[in-house]
């Protein structure tokens, strides 16, 4: 499951957002994701950025492995269909962002 916390493509300004997915997650899971976005309970949450083909950053957020989901879930469920994102980079244990 994931939460998109920042939109970098709307009106050329960074806008905070709170889009949770995938669609079938429970209200409890949405609450957990919103807590993570607010800085609470981030253990197990991975920060990510999504980019288009040209390397332009479109979105940022957090991913949490839930029930066998994979790290591409934000890209597959939101970034690709919504804005044509093709790449997702996750922050690794060394603090560096790497392509998933």
- Summarize pLDDT for 42-92 with one digit per residue, the tens: 888 999 999 999 999 999 999 999 877 788 999 999 999 999 999 999 998
Residue with tokens 């050329």: 12
- The answer to pTM > 0.95 is no
Query: Hey, which bits of the chain come out as E strands?
Result: 2-7, 15-21, 45-51, 57-64, 87-91, 97-99
Residue 11 pLDDT: 67
Angle at 72 between CA 70 and CA 76, to 5 degrees: 120
Residue 45's contacts (CB-CB under 8 Å, 6 or more residues apart) are 36, 62, 63, 64
**Cα–Cα distance for residue pair 43/5, rounded to 1 Å:** 17
In the DSSP assignment, the letter for residue 78 is I
């Amino acid at each position: 499951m994931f939460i998109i916390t920042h939109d970098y493509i709307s009106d050329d300004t960074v806008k905070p957002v709170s889009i949770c997915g995938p669609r079938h997650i429970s209200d409890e899971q949405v609450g957990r994701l919103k807590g993570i976005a607010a800085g609470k309970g981030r253990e197990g949450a991975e920060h990510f950025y999504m980019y288009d083909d040209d390397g332009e950053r479109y979105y940022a957020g957090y991913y949490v492995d839930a029930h066998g989901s994979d790290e591409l879930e934000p890209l597959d469920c939101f970034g690709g269909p919504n804005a044509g994102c093709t790449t997702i980079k996750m922050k690794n244990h060394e603090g560096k962002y790497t392509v998933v």
